[in-house]
Amino acid sequence: MKYEVVIGLEIHLELQTSSKLFCGCSTIFGREPNSNCCPICLGLPGSLPVFNRRAIELAVAAALALNSDVQEKSRFDRKNYFYPDLPKAYQISQYDQPLARGGYLQIEVDCASRIINLERVHLEEEAGKLIHSSESIMGSDYSLVDYNRAGIPLLEIVTAPDITSGREARLFLDDLRSVLLYSGASDCKMEEGSLRCDANISLRPAGSDELGTRAEVKNMNSFRAVELALNYEAGRQEEILAAGGTVIQETCHWDEERKKTIPLRSKEGSSDYRYFPEPDLLPLVLESTFIEEISAALPELPPARRKRLKEQYGLDASEAALFTFNRSLGDFFEAAAARYNQYANLAKWVQGDLLYYLRESGKNVEEVEPQKFVDLLTLLDKGDINRPVAKELLSEIVLSGTSPQKMIRDKGLGRISGDEQLLPIVEKVIAENPDAIENYRQGKEKAMAFLVGRVMALTGGRADPGEANKLLKEKISRK
Ligand code: ADP
Ligand code: ZN
Ligand code: MG
């Protein structure tokens, strides 16, 4: 039997606030363990949570950017479970009245557009972090706990089971990350844990519309790992089903080293958490003007920008994707395009040589002035400099920001032309190549190409071949 893969993702995003969700503690990453804590985020008895307005603004911005329907009224619940990283033994989360419902993200898969629907977007608090005495919890004698992260605002984004392969999951995550970055809600750094993803995956007979039993896969630390883990898990489930077995609903752990998913435990159902309304917080009621203001402040978002870049500048799909994902590079391209209308040439230089010199020098594109870059391309277009010189100047513009005109003056890199500069070189070439001159006089056109080549060589390519040709012909026929 042929099976099809069904995937739904749960993404956790740390919101970019300077203080935690329910207290004033700092959210700065990498501080001394347990230094960003207070009675509220440590869950001491008698402490009371207070909403962080900024967290709500960022959550609403992210939800709107994902086309999710922000609810005027939502509510917080306690999700009860015991684990050492959770000092209160419950997490304040949202359950049946989430911040936002539905939504979708339009992604591109192999140049075709796909819609991935969302089920919900909700707010909750982050847990602390366990540091095991050796690599994994299983082989450790003890674990240390750091509550600096406990209480940082988290946004949970849950997709519908709309994703059909590991690769599509990765493409979705790339696009999701880009939208979230544009929304300003998070820095989306996977390496610092501010963006994490759990994946639910099941198989079903191709064409069926019933969902199969799923496994939940955790512990992937990159989008690449999500793709690999899902591909592996799809294979594992297919083997079970093909052998006539049944998949059991369980939680698996992705083992990065062995590139395998390892079943951990049977999955708990939501009734195990004994959710109940958080008695210390009022329901969250958002005024429509509050939501509208946040909506109005959102920038143009990646799917729209990608489409506009193609239409406005005639860029191809990969260029439009690059200038969307790499937002500052896209901003640079657009700033330069406002001053220079050879868009195809501009795009070629930005994604080629400019990107190369930026990587080589470790500079950010924000440090390069679009005007100097445009001046350089214009000098090249006019033939005032040649390509090797243009590249040399570009590397210098990136490094030091010197203007191309100044460098051309100071270093004498401009075009060699006219009676004063070019003529003496032409005369030298004529004096040194009597055989070629003779051949040319006898009608061999190839000899002229050779002579022009000599002029170009002697000028380091800085002469205009057309002018060299003209001067050579004048001189030779006069003799
Ligand atoms: P949980 O109890 O794990 O929170 P949810 O119903 O909230 O379960 O679903 C979590 C995620 O799992 C969602 O992204 C959803 O689309 C996905 N999902 C649910 N059922 C399946 C299934 N049978 N196969 C694949 N993904 C599924
Ligand atoms: Zn605190
Ligand atoms: Mg869930």
Please report, for the domain that includes residue 468, its CATH number: 1.10.10.410
pLDDT in tens, 233-256: 999 999 999 999 999 999 999 999
CA 23 to ligand 2 centroid distance, Å: 5
- Mind listing the pLDDT tens digit for each residue in 49-74? 999 999 999 999 999 999 999 999 99
Based on the fold, state whether residues 114 and 185 are members of the same structural domain.
yes
Q: Which atom of ligand 1 is nearest to the CA of 267?
A: 3
Question: Phi and psi dihedrals of 107, rounded to 5?
Answer: -120, 170
Mean pLDDT taken over the chain? 93
Residues 53 and 13 in one domain: yes
- Residue where a domain stops, chosen among 411, 428, 459: 411
CA distance 159 to 176: 11
> Among 364, 473, 372, 464, which Cα is nearest to 418's?
464
Query: How does residue 467 score in pLDDT terms, banded at 50, 70 and 90?
Result: confident
d(CA 286, CA 292): 10
Of 241, 62, 225, 40, whose CA–CA distance to 147 is shortest? 40
Any idea which residue has 């071949």 for tokens? 465
Q: Are strands 73-74 and 260-266 parallel, antiparallel or unpaired?
A: unpaired
Please give the distance of CA 92 from its chain centroid, rounded to a whole number.
30
For residues 355-369, average pLDDT: 95
The whole-number average pLDDT for the span 103-122 is 94
- CA R_g for the chain: 31
Beta bridge partners of 5: 203
**pLDDT (average), residues 93-104:** 98
**Do 269 and 324 lie in a common domain?**
no
DSSP 218-234: E---SHHHHHHHHHHHH
Please report the atom of ligand 1 found closest to the CA of residue 202: 24
CB 172 within 8 A of CB 159: yes
Residue whose CB lies within 8 A of the most ligand 1 atoms, among 200, 209, 241, for a mutation test = 200
The average pLDDT across 438-442 equals: 89
Ligand 1 binding site (Cβ under 6 Å of any ligand atom): 6-10, 158-161, 200-202, 211-212, 214, 270
Strand partners, 121: 100, 157
Last residue of a domain, one of 243, 263, 294: 294
The answer to whether residues 266 and 315 belong to one domain is no
CA of 363 to the centre of ligand 2 (A): 37
Range of the domain at 471: 419-478
Q: What contacts 24+ positions apart, CB below 8 Å, involve 2-5?
A: 2/205, 2/206, 3/203, 3/204, 3/205, 3/206, 3/237, 3/238, 3/241, 4/164, 4/203, 4/204, 4/205, 4/206, 4/207, 4/208, 5/164, 5/165, 5/166, 5/201, 5/202, 5/203, 5/230, 5/234
Residues 39 and 156 in one domain: yes
Q: Give me ligand 3 centre to Cα 124, in Å.
A: 12
Query: What integer is the mean pLDDT of 367-386?
Result: 93
Binned at pLDDT 50, 70 and 90, residue 341 comes out as: very high
Query: Does position 477 have pLDDT exceeding 90, yes or no?
Result: no
Contact 448, 438 (CB under 8 A): no
Strand 260-266 relative to strand 250-255, pairing:
antiparallel
The CA distances from residue 224 to 112, 166, 173, 234, 315, in Å, are 21, 9, 10, 15, 27
Nearest residue to 326 via CA among 116, 110, 181? 181
Closest atom of ligand 1 relative to the 200 alpha carbon: 26
pLDDT > 70? residue 360: yes
- Residues whose beta carbons lie less than 5 angstroms from ion ligand 2: 23, 25, 38, 40-41
CA distances from 396 to 48, 104, 184, 360 (A): 57, 45, 33, 12
- Name which residue sits closest to atom 11 of ligand 1, judged by CA: 8
What was the pLDDT predicted at 267? 66
Q: State the first-to-last Cα distance of the chain, in angstroms, to the nearest integer.
A: 88
Angle, alpha carbons 90-191-142 (nearest 5°):
55
Ligand 1 atom index nearest CA of 212: 23
Asked whether the predicted pLDDT for residue 230 surpasses 90, the reply is yes
103 and 16 share one domain:
yes
Please tell me whether residues 76 and 185 are part of one structural domain. yes
Q: What percent of the chain has pLDDT over 70?
A: 99
Report the amino acid identity of residue 302: P
The arithmetic mean of pLDDT across residues 416-424, rounded, is 84
pLDDT bin (cut points 50, 70, 90) of residue 268 is: low
Residues 30 and 158 in one domain: yes
The Cα 408–Cα 403 span in angstroms is 9
Which listed ligand is nearest to 150 at the C-alpha? Answer: 2
Indicate if 464 and 395 belong to the same structural domain.
no
Round to whole Å and give the CA distance between 391 and 367: 18
**Boundary residue ending a domain (262, 294, 326):** 294
Residue 192: which pLDDT band, with cuts at 50, 70 and 90? confident
* Residue-level pLDDT at 50: 96
Mean pLDDT score, 110-120: 93
What is the maximum span of the chain, computed from C-alpha positions, in angstroms?
106
Lowest mean pLDDT among 15-29, 133-147, 151-165, 322-336: 133-147
The CA distance from 174 to 169, in Å, is 9
Encode pLDDT of 307-336 as tens digits: 999 999 999 999 999 999 999 999 999 999
Domain shared by 234 and 172, yes or no:
yes
pLDDT for the residue 235: 96
Separation of 103 CA from ligand 3 center, angstroms? Answer: 16
pLDDT of residue 129: 93
What pLDDT was estimated at residue 322? 96
172: enclosing H helix or E strand: helix 166-183
Same domain, 54 and 184: yes
Q: Distance (Å, rounded) from C-alpha 197 to C-alpha 113?
A: 23
Pair (160, 232) in one structural domain: yes
CA–CA distance, 202 with 212 (Å, rounded to integer): 5
158 CA distance to ligand 3 centroid (A)?
7
How many domains, the chain?
A: 3
> For residue 351, which of 309, 414, 293 has the smallest C-alpha distance?
309
Provide the token pair at 351: 């994604």
CA of 262 to the centre of ligand 2 (A): 35
